[in-house]
């Protein structure tokens, strides 16, 4: 027996952390989520703020 739990209206893929997402019409789903979506981020080793990940605001170029 299947129960509907929701409807997907739009899918966005975010290939780069903190950058704009791109709308896609379909995607393969795997253990790590959507194919092509980001899985990794650069970590700033010296940052002890609790959020040590590199974002576009920290390095806009």
Mean pLDDT split into 10-residue runs, the chain, 61 residues: 86 77 85 72 78 73 69
Query: What's the pLDDT score for residue 18?
Result: 67
Handedness of CA 26, 27, 28, 32 (dihedral sign): negative
* 57 CB-side CA count, 13 A: 3
Gyration radius of the chain over CA positions: 16
Confidence (pLDDT) at 39: 65
Tell me, what's the pLDDT at 35? Answer: 80
Phi/psi of residue 53, nearest 5 degrees: -85, 140
């Amino acid at each position: 027996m299947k129960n509907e739990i929701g409807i997907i209206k739009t899918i966005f893929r975010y290939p780069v952390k903190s950058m704009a997402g791109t709308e896609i019409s379909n995607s393969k789903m795997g253990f790590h989520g959507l194919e092509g979506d980001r899985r990794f981020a650069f970590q700033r080793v010296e940052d002890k703020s609790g959020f040590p990940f590199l974002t576009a605001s920290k390095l806009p170029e």
